[in-house]
Structure 1
């Protein structure tokens, strides 16, 4: 028997319901968190992600809890928090919103750092303020709010960080099992990324075999959110063009050697993942990948068009607009950008832009592929051997 007024005993781990906002760099690290939590004994059916971003979500769940920030991907988090706190039929026990300092990037070791945007990293604390400014909305709902600071590109640090940040939320958590769970998280993330890269390679091989054009999206991970990227790539795919996201471009050794081997042997770069020739200040993970995406898109003949997305007043993206466009266009590849994306999808202008893009592809894609093939090294591994 517990005394009156004492807190209820913690739920067993397999009964814990953990909410995670579907925002920012959770779009490219969600599999880590699923692997981590399930390794700790949390039932995956009890891990609840908020829904895709929408204006309705913000109006219903984030009203009055907003933050002063020009970055819409940060501002919209209020709606995600509110949905997890107030919009669940079955109450959550924990709201997990990690502060991710750096990211596990395929460019790690080839660039200076893989840091996240400071505004994005600090967003959980920023948004939390709107839920505790008058009353603690988390405590009133019986939800434990946890926001561990975590360096996902430094795996040896992660167990220490997550143990410190999660031990009050996970009953009986030990450092040893935290380390084991972190390993499981990284393994799940690698396996997920490998599967998507394999699918991307299959798309490229089909394009090479059929001599068909595909498009590459160069954007930040959260532009995959239909409420932030507005599904522009879906509108384009409806015209029959395969879409690749640069985050999951295949990085097999044979393809990388074919695409970048000449530059490596000439001493322009040290590896296929070196971007110092176009971006010496390689500290931001997503920015690094954006520049690398432009480089690889310029080299692959069947990528006939690049679609660049960025959000309104993104200070991290603005310095990259010109170099990315120049890298792509100097290869003869079509380049179209959707800058200053905000909460509302400008349906009319997007429709016109999509029709313009598909018109140019219909008119010029075959010639672009032909010119890029002529300029490419021999022996492309995407094409079947004769």
Structure 2
């Protein structure tokens, strides 16, 4: 069982604890990367602990004597041990009880308000509640099929989308193999010279995807006649890189283009592809035969095929039987498009209200499609999808899901008969197109003794301190996951040849200050958080000039987050804000008795209509003060004034008031502010010069660069999870939004009030990218950022108005970059295949503005 596995665990991986779906995403990635199951089990228990302490406790410390109640803590002693170790409880503080799993029922039985009730009364009360609940149950406004004839016509129409088959046992000639190592399943497809399918395999990953692939290829070798030879092998999917490295495949392709290649075999003029797999979904538009915009469910994997599978298993039914029930539904339950956790709750409620399995199955099928179209894609106009829609992925073997998409879109779609094999089929077609001779695939003899040795370790060769998983193959080859640069895998970073990386440069430059050796006013701490990723040069210089030794909190990490997670009041906060608690705790643990963390409603920047900081950045120090009792308990003076940083004269007066307690004079403040402002300008000039040098290089060499935009804190490697280094690894120089803010551009199409400083840079950067064909913009957004609901749409609108591809990557504590890597590689592949769009200046009508003249109206 899980507990026995966790007992053998040695390494704890970071698993997102926001919800079960997020955790499952990380778990699946760890399994696909070859992490030990025992370590994963131990990490799951730690994630439960983190969720309880960091979310359910709502910022209230768990102290004193702790009783461990409920079934999980009773039957899973390793989970209990993780709580004890994390909370640092002594033996005396642990309240042990042999019947903790019965405490709730015991409490109910012992309740003072208990009264006798007859069976008849109880039955009457239940019947009344069920009747009232049925009235409230929302039903979908249609059924999937009106009658059996309607379903038969549906099946005949979709039976036309078939791939030719051939007999492998009698085949003569070259064979081309595609391997799709997906998030939850692994598929292979072998085709002949005429694109006919000769052999297929489709299996669950079973927590060991590489082992599954090896077994599938062994079976292919066993079935291969002497008259056939494998001439080419291509890999795709989440595990494409490790499978290619382990089996010596001839090539690989990002899965979006593998799926597009397959879709074009069925529908050459395809305009839109919707792919729903076990744990991911991909939606992409096709323009001029290649991929235009791509949408993936990056932050959350809810509502995919595995949701249907898990629910069917919960009813002790196969997926096929559960799906078949939906076809006879007379009143599908409307479960909405919210997350899987909410859907599960609504399903349970529907069951209590008497909904049939058929109605629930149909309701789930509808929700999966609504989730894809309206939540993930945020579809507003069905006509945008075009006339030729192809749907694929194993989920579409479910006729109820297929019918749901046709009902919702009010148009027919194409579902290939190999919907679940499209990635593998596309990879096989690419192998046929690109491989001419014999394949480098491992021989049958080599596969017979194939085995993998896995080891995990901390790199420690740079500040990232990556947790690396190494897999060693029988031929001595190695495959690494978890590394953000080449240092951790035995490589060297040559500074002279390194691709320019604006994020790495800014992160090093902004904190490149030494504290005073002999401070006359002692030490003062500053947390490394939020706006201080840009404003630190100002505050470090100011406090240093006032005679303080400025102590900066340590670098962000999962461990830094854990330090303060017990004080986080809400799980809806973005990850950068949550990290602030850990950084403040770090300063407290280092013995700092003064911590300076100012509130800044306004920014130093004044180039937008207004220059507000977002509410979180503006006032988060207040949140820290109200929720971190340790500041009061340790006697820490927490200095968090609201400061008008946009007005230097007002700022001087306020700082003089705030630091009067330490004998700081107004003249000292005035001089320190002037020097701090000059240092902040020097920092900005350095950033600008880095950008100017990179722009000159692009002009000189014709290279393509990525303009990676976001908020100041996105330069933190823990927050961006190495996205910048991933882009850099593909040989692309990286710019940031503040490096092009001074470059003149045409007025962008802006339909919102441009009143946020960071947003103004994003809009300017989008227009800059639109005007420069060799620059592609990628936007980073933190999960939970409410204001980015505005910026995402606005930046997308600016780029698409000029025919450019918009790419957004959602970030959270989830460290799995599988979706981000797919999106990035899809973008690069699309750029290679697209004809560059020449920039044409456009004049957009100005948005209506509310002015003083409007008041009388």
Residue of structure 2 in register with 1:65 after alignment: 567
C-alpha offsets along residues 319-365 of structure 1, whole Å, 9 cap, x if unaligned? 222221121133333321013x211222222232232233234444x
Contact 2:709 2:737 in 1 (8 A): yes
Contact 1:35 1:184 in 2 (8 A): yes
Q: Whole-Å Cα distance in 1 between the matches of residues 686 and 565 of structure 2?
A: 39
Q: Whole-Å Cα distance in 2 between the matches of residues 197 and 48 of structure 1?
A: 27
Consecutive unaligned residues in structure 2, runs of 5 or more? 1-517, 842-857
Q: Whole-Å Cα distance in 2 between the matches of residues 93 and 13 of structure 1?
A: 15
Q: Using the TM superposition, give the Cα deviation of residue 15 of structure 1 relative to its aligned residue in structure 2, in angstroms.
A: 5.8
Deviating 4+ runs (over 4 angstroms): none
Partner SS for 2:720: coil
Q: Whole-Å Cα distance in 2 between the matches of residues 172 and 166 of structure 1?
A: 7
Question: Using a 3 Å threshold, how does the CA distance of structure 1 residues 165 and 363 change in structure 2: closer, same or farther?
Answer: farther
Q: Whole-Å Cα distance in 2 between the matches of residues 116 and 233 of structure 1?
A: 25
Corresponding residue to 2:617 among 114, 120, 123: 120
Is 1:222 the counterpart of 2:719 in the alignment?
no
Q: Whole-Å Cα distance in 2 between the matches of residues 39 and 15 of structure 1?
A: 11
Residue of structure 1 in register with 2:603 after alignment: 103
Is 1:131 the counterpart of 2:625 in the alignment?
no
Question: Using a 3 Å threshold, how does the CA distance of structure 1 residues 63 and 240 change in structure 2: closer, same or farther?
Answer: same
Q: Whole-Å Cα distance in 1 between the matches of residues 536 and 752 of structure 2?
A: 30
Is 1:26 the counterpart of 2:532 in the alignment?
yes
Residue of structure 2 in register with 1:158 after alignment: 651
Give the RMSD, CA atoms, in angstroms.
2.3
C-alpha offsets along residues 158-198 of structure 1, whole Å, 9 cap, x if unaligned? 11122222333xx3201121121111111111111011111
Greater CA deviation, 113-122 or 61-70?
61-70
Q: Using the TM superposition, give the Cα deviation of residue 14 of structure 1 relative to its aligned residue in structure 2, in angstroms.
A: 3.8
Contact 1:22 1:52 in 2 (8 A): yes
Residue of structure 1 in register with 2:160 after alignment: none
Q: Whole-Å Cα distance in 2 between the matches of residues 53 and 125 of structure 1?
A: 21
Contact 2:707 2:777 in 1 (8 A): yes
Residue of structure 2 in register with 1:242 after alignment: 733
Contact 2:738 2:761 in 1 (8 A): yes
Corresponding residue to 2:582 among 75, 79, 83: 79
Contact 1:93 1:144 in 2 (8 A): yes
Alignment of 1:1-386 (within 5 A): 13-14=519-520, 16-42=522-548, 46-59=549-562, 61-72=563-574, 73-86=576-589, 88=590, 91-105=591-605, 108=606, 110-132=607-629, 137-168=630-661, 171-249=662-740, 251=742, 255-256=743-744, 259-260=745-746, 277-303=749-775, 305-339=776-810, 341-364=811-834, 367-368=835-836, 371-372=838-839, 375=840
C-alpha offsets along residues 137-177 of structure 1, whole Å, 9 cap, x if unaligned? 23544532111211211222111122222333xx3201121
Consecutive unaligned residues in structure 1, runs of 5 or more? 1-11, 261-268, 270-274, 377-386
Q: Whole-Å Cα distance in 2 between the matches of residues 165 and 172 of structure 1?
A: 10
Contact 1:13 1:40 in 2 (8 A): no
Contact 1:246 1:289 in 2 (8 A): yes
Q: Using the TM superposition, give the Cα deviation of residue 115 of structure 1 relative to its aligned residue in structure 2, in angstroms.
A: 0.7
Contact 1:116 1:284 in 2 (8 A): yes
| Normalised TM-score (structure 1) | 0.78
Partner SS for 1:100: coil
Q: Whole-Å Cα distance in 2 between the matches of residues 348 and 161 of structure 1?
A: 48
Q: Using the TM superposition, give the Cα deviation of residue 224 of structure 1 relative to its aligned residue in structure 2, in angstroms.
A: 1.2
Contact 2:596 2:638 in 1 (8 A): yes
Give the structure, 1 or 2, with the largest relative contact order (CA under 8 Å, sep 6 or more).
1
